[in-house]
Amino acid sequence: MPVLQPLTQWFCDSCKASIEQPEDGCLEYLQDARTDRVSDFRIIHCRPSCHSNEESIENKDKIVNDIHLDHVITYGFFGHMLNWLDLSETKKSEERVVITEFTEIMRRLYLPYWEEARQYWQQSFKDGYHDKCSFEEDDLLRIISEYEQSGQETST
């Protein structure tokens, strides 16, 4: 049984605890002050203890931005995210996003059960459960139940 509700609960990248509802979380990212490039996406609790420390990254010309998750999970913001990708591809805004980071945050935000299944993705690939391109809900749920069970077995 998954522990997270798909697309409304996540694991915080800062404190690792679960974010119980979209209103409690933020999508955080860094923006390069010179090039506008967006990177270092994180899903975190919207509280100072989980946010990046502005002072520690200021030296690298990066600005910390965040958007509440209840806004991020709307169709409108999905369109906005695709626009970032489009700008990057057409080089209108020189490589707006780091593509590998971007695809991962898109999966975490918009793909049911990915947030939980991603923890077991590499191991379940090695074990032959998927070919790295199976993102169906049933496949991800199978991975979650398989590896949660094996975790329980080793702990008892």
- The least CB distance from residue 120 to Zn ion, in Å, is 21
Residue with Cβ nearer Zn ion (118 or 142): 118
| Greatest extent of the chain over all pairs of C-alpha atoms, in Å | 55
- The least CB distance from residue 50 to Zn ion, in Å, is 4
- Binding interface with Zn ion (CB under 5 A): 12, 14-15, 45, 50
Centre a 10 Å sphere on the Cβ of residue 64 and count the other Cβ atoms it contains: 17
Centre a 10 Å sphere on the Cβ of residue 9 and count the other Cβ atoms it contains: 19
Q: Are 135 and 107 in contact (CB under 8 A)?
A: yes
Residue with Cβ nearer Zn ion (19 or 97): 19
Q: Which SS3 state, helix, strand or coil, does residue 105 take?
A: helix
Residue with Cβ nearer Zn ion (14 or 134): 14
- The least CB distance from residue 38 to Zn ion, in Å, is 21
Q: Are 8 and 15 in contact (CB under 8 A)?
A: no
**Total number of residues shown for the chain:** 156
- The least CB distance from residue 141 to Zn ion, in Å, is 25
Residue with Cβ nearer Zn ion (45 or 108): 45
